[in-house]
Amino acid sequence: MKLGILISGRGSNMLAIAEAIENGTIPNAEIAVVISDKPSAQGLIKAQEKGLETLAIPRNGRTREEHDAEIVSELKKRGVELVCLAGYMRLLSKDFIRGFPNKIINIHPSLLPSFKGLDAQKQAFEYGVYFTGCTVHFVDEELDHGAIIAQKVVEVKDEDTAETLSHRILEQEHQLYIEAIAKIVKGNYEFIGRKVRF
């Protein structure tokens, strides 16, 4: 299965996916392209060092629809079958989502539906929860809302700061995203309402 990965920054999840494909943890998959809306994204350099094709597609004052249309066209041109958002900081247009029905997934650093949106780790830390974590989910037209594929719990410790907590969540994200992609690529799943059953 050909994957397209969308990033905006550091790209550590992208790298974890690339390494999992390399070492066989995600079988039968290849990364066709890594696209960033931010030309300065660190993740683009990391992807190039892995020998992956990269594209920077900045918004450049265009509407969301125009910008997304270019990204979709680049993904389709390369035969991408699964789009993995990995720290991609823009909402997708309806046309983008409809162009890849149930074929766009995202990782979010909280146990959804708690703490949607930006700075989810800090939101959880400041709220005072004892447990938070990360979620891989299908992307639909609402923010951080699509059907949940997998989740991992991370305990908030007394000595944590928002930063130490984010770091431990990120370690789990890398594991979870790989496990989730391997399952999706394998394809043995069905939707029961908004639930995904493997």
Catalytic residues: 108
Taking alpha carbons only, the member of 15, 77, 72, 70 closest to residue 46 is 15
Does position 12 interact with ligand GRF (CB under 6 A)? The reply is yes
Task: Tell me the pairing of strands 104-108 and 131-138.
Answer: antiparallel
Does position 173 interact with ligand GRF (CB under 6 A)? The reply is yes
Distance CA 144, CA 121 (A): 14
- Environment class of 81 (CB within 10 Å of its CB; exposed 0-12, middle 13-18, buried 19+): middle
Q: Kindly write out the interface string for residues 110-149 of this chain, putting x where it contacts ligand GRF by CB under 6 A and - elsewhere.
A: ----------------------------------------
DSSP letter, residue 112: T
Segment contacting ligand GRF by CB under 6 A, of 63-71, 72-80, 102-110, 125-133: 102-110
Distance CA 27, CA 191 (A): 23
Taking alpha carbons only, the member of 95, 129, 138 closest to residue 111 is 129
Does position 93 interact with ligand GRF (CB under 6 A)? The reply is no
Write down the least CB distance from residue 148 to ligand GRF, Å.
14
User: Which of 34, 52, 86, 139: binder of ligand GRF (CB under 6 A)?
Assistant: 86
Q: Kindly write out the interface string for residues 31-70 of this chain, putting x where it contacts ligand GRF by CB under 6 A and - elsewhere.
A: ------------x---------------------------
> Would you say 166 and 14 are in contact if contact means Cβ atoms under 8 Å apart?
no
Segment contacting ligand GRF by CB under 6 A, of 73-81, 103-111, 141-149, 178-186: 103-111
Distant-in-sequence, close-in-space partners of 57: CB < 8 Å, separation ≥ 6? 35, 36, 37, 67, 70, 71, 74
* 3-state secondary structure (DSSP) of residue 133: strand
Does position 108 interact with ligand GRF (CB under 6 A)? The reply is yes
User: Which of 26, 35, 52, 107: binder of ligand GRF (CB under 6 A)?
Assistant: 107
Which residues contact ligand GRF (rule: CB under 6 A)?
7, 9-13, 43, 86-87, 107-109, 170, 173
